[in-house]
Structures are given as C-alpha cells and as structure tokens.
Amino acid sequence: MRTKVILGLLFLLVISSCTQTRIKDHTEWGKYFDDNGIKNACIMLRDNNHESIHYYNKDRSIRRILPASTFKVFLSLVALETAVAPDDQLMIKWDSVTRRPDWDKDMTMREALQVSSEPYFKEVIRRIGAARIQHYLDTIKYGNMQMAGKLEEIWTNNSLQISADEEMGFLKRLYFAELPVSERSQRIVKTMMLREETPGYRLYYKTGTGTVGDSTTYWVAGFAERIEHVKENKDAMNKSDVRNYPYFFAENFSMPATDTSKKWGDVRIDILKNVLMDYGALPR
C-alpha cells in the first residue's frame, strides 16, 4: 500500500505544472546534449495549446537542485509585491566594487534582471528580509521552500532547491497571472523576462549558473510565444487577427566546474532553441 502511495505522489510531482495532460518522452532530444559532451541534463516543454508535456530525462526533470539565478524571477516578484520595489525602475547605486563591466554601474531592476546582477539582487533580498522571503516561498510553494545560511546566498548555497518540473509550473502560473500575488507584479516581471522579439515569436527566459563542490549547474527557464496571424470572420467576437500560442520550458545540465572547453552559458541557449524549433514552438 505504501509503495502505491509513493508512486502516486511521484506521478503527481511529474505533472505538478498541469492536470489532464499528455506526457511524452523525447529521447531524441538527447542528441543536443550528447553532441556537446553533456551527460547530466534534462529539458521539459509544456505545450499549453495541446495540454501536453514533453521531456528528456524524466528522473532529472523531477530532481530538485539549486535554482541559481533563475530565482531572481521570484525575487523580482516579491520585491514588487512588498513595495521594496515600487516598480521595475527601482534604482540601486553601484557600491563601487569592481566585479563585471555589466554590473559595475547604477541600475534599475529591469536592467539588473537582464544582466543577472548579483550585487543588485543581494541588496534587494536584504531589503525584503528573511521573514518575508520565507512567507512568499511558502505561499507560492517555490521548490522545497527551505533556506539556510546567508540570506543573500540561498539561491546558490544549495539550501533552496527546485526541479525543472516545478520551475516550469511556476513560470506557467506567472504567465497566466495565477500566482498568489497581484496581477500587476506578475505582469511587470513577465515583461522583464523578454529576451527576443521577432514578427514570428517572443522568447522570455532567465538563466542561472551555480557551482556546488566540483559541479556547475546551468539553467534556462521561461516561455515562448509563437505569433500567428489569422483572418477572423467579420461577425466574430474576437476582432484581433493575432494569436499568441505559449510554450513553457525548463532546462538544466551539470558539468565539471573546471570544464571551460566551451561557453556553456551559450550552449544552454543553443540547445533550448534547437528543442523549441524541433517541436515547432519557434520557426526555423
């Protein structure tokens, strides 16, 4: 009886981002990781239009790991919801410590999310405080909802963890403004995640990179909107000829921390786009 309960819970975890879905294993997506010498990897894709979930490596997809900088999406939401950030133009001055050229300046929250500024978001989480962070972790049910050690390191010190499946579900709820925070906060953060826009699609995502011991994990998670133009009947209630078809995704892989043979940050985006194009979420 206990075994059946455990299996049932695992099944629910796999489909936590939706219900009544079709689920398909795409072993062929492994070629994109194999071609780059990546052995420990997964990717999940939810086709919202057909209520289906597609994945490569189910076991890793449901395994919780550190969120790295993908957590800054959550932090941005909480900053807005608590009014620590009145809007996406919250300006935080550079502390004059030299780190990286794209971080070493005064910047707004919108700019900080685009360049994934560590000093900016460490200051944001300090202003929010541990009690409010824990409240929103519990309320939103983000990953394992646990934090330990220094507050400004919880997304990289391996105390807070989330799976690709859970990350995808979190972003789906953000997209449809279904999280237990205001619609305004979700709308602003969604626009902050936009990275590419063309006549045929919009691509929103947040990357993350975190090292624990001798292993570095690379994340990319977000959603794509395929844009199509249709001709509506003159009597149709919907007068717009534009349709946005959303697809949600979460990808992560791990490599030895000492491996600098490739620009792994670029590789993760290349793999993501290949999978999205294979599936038809992005045009080739």
Residue 69 a catalytic site member: yes
Please state the φ and ψ torsions of residue 74, each to the nearest 5 degrees: -60, -45
Minimal CA–CA distance to 74: which of 236, 189, 160? 189
Looking at residues 130-140, what average pLDDT do you find?
A: 98
For residue range 50-73, what is the model confidence (pLDDT) as tens digits?
A: 999 999 999 999 999 999 999 999
Domain extent listing, the chain: 18-279
Label residue 7 by pLDDT band (50, 70, 90): very low
Catalytic pick among 17, 61, 69, 254: 69
Alpha-carbon 161 to chain mean position = 13
Angle at the Cα of 267 from the Cα atoms of 209 and 43, rounded to 5 degrees: 75
Q: Structure tokens of 195?
A: 């990275």
Residue 237 has pLDDT above 70, yes or no: no
What is the predicted pLDDT for the residue at 243?
Answer: 83
C-alpha 181/C-alpha 140 separation (Å) is: 8
C-alpha 197/C-alpha 206 separation (Å) is: 15
Average pLDDT of every residue of the chain: 92
Residue 125 has pLDDT above 50, yes or no: yes
Please state the φ and ψ torsions of residue 276, each to the nearest 5 degrees: -65, -40
Alpha-helical (H) ranges within the chain are 2-14, 30-34, 58-61, 71-81, 109-115, 118-128, 130-140, 164-175, 183-192, 264-279
Q: What is the CATH T-level fold of the domain 18-279, as seen in this structure? A: Beta-lactamase (3.40.710)
β-sheet with 40-47: strand ranges across: 22-25, 52-56, 40-47, 242-256, 215-229, 201-212, 194-197
For residue range 175-213, what is the model confidence (pLDDT) as tens digits?
A: 999 999 999 999 999 999 999 999 999 999 999 999 999
What is the predicted pLDDT for the residue at 244?
Answer: 87
Q: What percent of the chain has pLDDT over 90?
A: 86
Minimal CA–CA distance to 283: which of 219, 210, 196? 196
Residue 272 has pLDDT above 90, yes or no: yes
What is the predicted pLDDT for the residue at 4?
Answer: 44
Residue 258 has pLDDT above 90, yes or no: yes
Please state the φ and ψ torsions of residue 269, each to the nearest 5 degrees: -70, -40
